[in-house]
Amino acid sequence: MDLSRKIQEFDSCYNMKLNSLQVDRKYPITFAERIPSRFGPASVLAIRDTPDRILSLHAPKIFSAFSNDIDDINSGKVKLNLVYKGQCVNTRAFKVTIENV
């Protein structure tokens, strides 16, 4: 898939919160974007929910550490899945892992 089509899909996707995702389901990351925020650099991910539905979500702060991989994700060199593991009962922090396909 070419980059212009990915950007077009990204613009028409649904915004979601992490805690809306299904626990332990692998969501393929189709597009990633770096954005500035008032709390510092952040990332927005486009993940595929179904073959014809893409979800957009703000990635956890830790994903900014993978900012070098964003270009590889968008070019298709790296294929990654986002897996939501639930929420910590003590801190209410979201537990997310990034896995290679």
> What are the sequence ranges of the domains in the chain?
3-100
User: Which pLDDT tens digits describe the chain residue by residue (101 residues)?
Assistant: 565 665 555 555 678 888 899 999 999 999 888 888 888 888 888 999 888 888 988 887 777 666 677 888 888 898 999 999 999 999 998 898 889 98
Q: Give the whole-angstrom CA distance, residue 99 versus residue 77.
A: 14
pTM of the model: 0.79
| Sheet architecture: strand order including 80-87 | 14-15, 53-58, 40-50, 26-37, 80-87, 94-100
